[in-house]
Structure 1
Amino acid sequence: MLFHEVLPLLRNYWPIVLTAGFIAYLLSNKYHKGLNRYPGHWLAAYTDWWRFFDVLGRRHEWTTLRLHREHGDVVRLGPNVLSFGDPKALKVIYGLNKGFIKSDFYPVQQAVSKGRRLQSLFSTTDEDYHAKYRRCVNNAFAMSSLVSYEPLVDSTVDVFLDQTQNLFANTGESCNFSRWLQFFAADVIGDLTWSRRLGFVEKNEDVDGIISFLGDFLSYAGPIGQMPILDLLLEKNPIKLLLQRWGITKSVFPVTLFAQSRSAERADEMAKIKAYGLQAPSNNAAGIDLLSKFTQAQHDHPEFMTDTQVLTACVSMVFAGSETTAISLSSVFYFLLKHPRCYQKLMEELDESVRNGTIIDRENGSVSWSESQKLPYLDAVIQESFRLHPAAGLILERIVPPSGIEICGRYVPGGTIVGCNAWVLHRRPEVFGWDVDVFRPERWIEANPGKLKEMKATMFQFGAGARTCIGKNISLLEVYKLVPSFLRRFEIELERPDREWKTHNAWFVRQLEFNTKFKPRPVHATV
């Protein structure tokens, strides 16, 4: 009876009903969990479409920084999303055993093989799965393992320096330096993972379109991750994945296909490791690669580590290893070129270190990891570059545990998405000084021990807590080796010194229009 009375009203007044329902939806978003008390862009309170389009604009890191400078330590980025700019929030949000889990932003970045998601250490939201996975592979990424990886990195560094000489320094050709450094980082990952470079540097080309694919994939993941349900309609559509599992359609990520091919080439060798474990080599000069170590983990933990987990770990190396390290390397070189005083000061340190024996005067000008750790100004330059241009340009999202929690004196209800953005944390004047927008490496040398500890604790370029980037040490190895080696071998200049580079926040903030020229540098002249 009631239905027959209501139906004519709905039929006659449906525009009013729809409008009222839409307004009610917007108001419920605005006052959701009492988050209306936190400031931000006015549209962010009503809909996630605001941050979707802002991230799609590729400069969201500057939007977040501006909002925090205007409104303070807590900014609302969506109806259920808060960004925290106070460094003290790090220990709560990312601290151990706090009960926070990753949001649905991360599964958007899962690779797919045969219609099934590949849950990596980075992309899984299952904390128990992550803990088991990390225990299996943790040893492969420990700082103590750097010694065994350095020969593999040296192999690519040598080729990269020689190819730079042949392709650019000897010819005077302009170099798209950001892209060239990404070729280097990708080849290092190939050497580290499979003991085989992927061919980017030798060929000076994007092998199998992998770099382009990664760029497109991250450009997709950044904005889509702001509204993860869109991914279920697009790339991770359940029907689409089911058809792939049935073999009706075939769609494999190029990176996954590449990893499968490289691993298949060494299938017999890996079968022996899986069965008997790694045998101590008679000559370990070449280093033990990650595929071998992941397979050793499969031997040690057969109850968890499957062929899929080994494949996922290899794919993750390509996904995460090339983009972020290339961004960090580009930042170091760019800031040096934009600040000639700092460039000159670092060169004086390198030359003096060769003269006094801190750096061995090798034929190709390369610098070892242990030598790089004795160069204080190099360390200051790299830390300052990490500070001013961290790779990640979005907040690292976490979900508040159901009981709710207090963050920096503010109670945040359970289920709220919270996070910090490195671009905000790294420009806190009370931590880094009044000139936070200036590239000044000396701040890392002038700081007293207490201040230096505070500065390092605020650095967030690799994340924090249990989900800190597991490949952090490998990335540091690459950066601390290549920068001094390259500077000893070549003089670098910007093709257009009057121009600033452009950036593209595809969740990792990569650089564009960073074009340079190189001149050979007399490596032994300073000895």
Structure 2
Amino acid sequence: MASAQLNSAFETLLAGISLDFLPGPTTWAMSRGPCEISNVRGRILKDIARLHEKYGEVVRVGPDAVIFNNPDAWGEIYAHKPGKGVFPKDPLRHTRELWIHGAPDVFTAEDTDHPRLRRLINPAFSSKALREQEPLIQANVNLLITRLQEQMGSDSTGVVDMNEWINWTTFDLIGDLAFGETFDCLKTGGYHPWVALICSSIKTVSILGSIKQWPWIEAVWQFLIGGIMIRAMRQFHQLVIEKVDRRLSRAKGRNDFLQSILDHKDTEKSMTQDELYSNAALLVMAGTETSATTLAGTIYHLARNQQVLLPLQDELRATFKSEDEMTFKTVSDIPNLLAALHESMRMYPSVAVTNPRRVPKGGASVIGKWLPENTTVGTYQWVVYNSSTNFRDPGTFDPSRWQGNPYYENDRREIFKPFSVGPKSCPQLLVMHGWMDFADYSLNRLAYAEMQLILVKLIWKFDILLADEKNVWTDQKVHWSWMRVPLMIKLKERKGSLSK
């Protein structure tokens, strides 16, 4: 153990010497401390933004860590390069706490397992599967609308916390699709204990990633509260196992995620039972937080920018005569809605932080900067999307920047990769052709279909206003995901068009 730690320290020292030519604050270059303290405080995005503003597109943020604000860096760090492989994920940042009985999930699996797991999971998110899953998704979205209508009747102010309602909807949806049963959040108007456990664990896992930088601090952490964390994770694992087993005991024929995976279970390279558990756990964790964040952010930005919302609302109300006309196919062909969705993802990406990688053995060049092996590299999505280097007037919510507005012709749109890139890009959002411009994304995938359907029905059914126009809802801390706070929205059931 001592020898391994000594070798690690020596490698870090050598990497540090070879990174001395890169700009960055001296205190950050000397130690991982400033960066990790910023991460634990939840203010890493603002700190990184200031560093890029001061030092440029390449900044050294640790003895062996470098971050980039450049479109070409995306491909060189994250995309598969023929004959060169990929930059491996930083093991200190990619937790395996979700693994059940040591079985890998598709997001954190080693390169030997990842292609097989992805091939087995892909059919669950195909166009065919999506068509078969639509009735389940429609039922949950319709329940959301019904419950909001009931809320309007019981609360004369018409003010609701849309962050909660969107959270409940996405959890019920993923429960229905992953386990064949919802969490009943929408029915009860509250959090299932399991849902609350998942939400609280995100911050813990993020902080643990920082603590792992120093083994002795991690040891103290584990001694003081590690037992609590382990018990909570075991409880989560047991709940996943019980739900998966209950789903497996039912008859085949239900059009959900597990059925699509089970259809390939008897093949030579099928998933083991434990891999099925681990990937079900991943679907719940990743499949709820990302969609809920994007939906809440889009609702906020539209409510805050009525000059965008009202024309879109009129368009939807003119297009659809009833909710029955709103299907995956019909809601996917609304360019103004898609542009608003992408503008919201630019200003408030669901995964705002970096997805750190390690420079492979032998070293590598990133945008012309030679870096030694084991250097940690990455890009902070929120920072690059809200940088004036890449987007004109980055603080302005203007969907027309995605629709050919010449005012934004110099925007570096190629840097916009909200679902990451490469072979291990975000599995829940299912943009399987990750290294593409956003316009090439397949719109018949689960995340887009789900989000577009929810937004169309909400905007068509309700007039939407901020309850407090002075509140900047997006000013939040971040621990891997945003620490979302209540989003108080004033809803008024449709009585006619607003803009005349």
TM-score (structure 2 length as normaliser): 0.85
Q: What is the alpha-carbon distance in structure 2 between the residues aligned to residue 31 and residue 470 of structure 1?
A: 32
The match for 1:255 among 219, 232, 236 is 236
The match for 1:233 among 204, 219, 239 is 219
**Contact 2:180–2:247 at 8 Å: present in 1 too?**
no
The match for 2:256 among 255, 266, 289 is 289
Match in the other structure for 1:82: 66
Match in the other structure for 1:186: 171
Distance 1:524 1:333, change over 3 A: closer
1:173-212 mapped onto 2 (5 Å cutoff): 174-208=159-193, 210-212=194-196
Distance 1:459 1:234, change over 3 A: farther
Q: What is the alpha-carbon distance in structure 2 between the residues aligned to residue 413 and residue 27 of structure 1?
A: 10
**Contact 2:43–2:478 at 8 Å: present in 1 too?**
yes
Match in the other structure for 1:496: 468
Match in the other structure for 2:441: none
The one-letter amino acid of 1:293's match is: S
Shift of residue 390, structure 1, vs aligned partner: 0.4
Q: What is the alpha-carbon distance in structure 1 between the residues aligned to residue 323 and residue 336 of structure 2?
A: 21
Distance 1:251 1:431, change over 3 A: closer
Distance 1:326 1:254, change over 3 A: farther
1:35 counterpart = 2:19: yes
Distance 1:479 1:510, change over 3 A: farther
Shift of residue 463, structure 1, vs aligned partner: 0.9
Match in the other structure for 1:17: none
1:299 counterpart = 2:266: yes
Match in the other structure for 1:103: 90
Q: What is the alpha-carbon distance in structure 1 between the residues aligned to residue 143 and residue 180 of structure 2?
A: 14
Question: What fraction of aligned residue pairs are identical, expressed as a percent?
Answer: 20
Please state whether the residue corresponding to 2:113 is helix, strand or coil. Answer: helix
Q: Tell me, which stretches of 5 or more residues in structure 1 are unaligned?
A: 1-24, 274-280, 282-286, 355-359
Distance 1:329 1:185, change over 3 A: same
1:95-134 mapped onto 2 (5 Å cutoff): 95-97=79-81, 98-108=85-95, 110-111=97-98, 113=100, 116-124=101-109, 126-134=110-118
Please state whether the residue corresponding to 1:61 is helix, strand or coil. Answer: helix
Distance 1:468 1:99, change over 3 A: closer
1:462 counterpart = 2:419: yes
Shift of residue 37, structure 1, vs aligned partner: 2.2
Match in the other structure for 1:362: 323
Distance 1:34 1:230, change over 3 A: closer
The one-letter amino acid of 2:53's match is: R
The match for 1:315 among 281, 294, 298 is 281
Please state whether the residue corresponding to 2:322 is helix, strand or coil. Answer: coil
Please state whether the residue corresponding to 1:101 is helix, strand or coil. Answer: coil
Larger Rg: 1
Distance 1:33 1:308, change over 3 A: farther
Distance 1:315 1:27, change over 3 A: closer
**Contact 1:504–1:512 at 8 Å: present in 2 too?**
no
Shift of residue 106, structure 1, vs aligned partner: 4.1
Match in the other structure for 1:46: 30
Distance 1:310 1:31, change over 3 A: closer
CA deviation profile, 1:45-75 (whole Å, cap 9, x unmatched):
1222212210112121222122112111111
Q: What is the alpha-carbon distance in structure 1 between the residues aligned to residue 204 and residue 64 of structure 2?
A: 22
Shift of residue 93, structure 1, vs aligned partner: 0.7
Distance 1:104 1:343, change over 3 A: same
Match in the other structure for 2:122: 138
Q: What is the alpha-carbon distance in structure 2 between the residues aligned to residue 92 and residue 36 of structure 1?
A: 21
Distance 1:452 1:444, change over 3 A: farther
The match for 1:336 among 293, 298, 302 is 302
1:359-398 mapped onto 2 (5 Å cutoff): 361-362=322-323, 367-398=326-357
Please state whether the residue corresponding to 1:493 is helix, strand or coil. Answer: strand
**Contact 1:395–1:420 at 8 Å: present in 2 too?**
yes
Please state whether the residue corresponding to 2:456 is helix, strand or coil. Answer: helix
1:93 counterpart = 2:77: yes
**Contact 1:48–1:78 at 8 Å: present in 2 too?**
yes
Q: Give the superposed CA RMSD.
A: 3.0
Match in the other structure for 1:445: 403
The one-letter amino acid of 2:129's match is: S
TM-score (structure 1 length as normaliser): 0.81
Please state whether the residue corresponding to 1:517 is helix, strand or coil. Answer: strand
CA deviation profile, 1:369-394 (whole Å, cap 9, x unmatched):
21122211111100100110001122
Match in the other structure for 1:213: 197
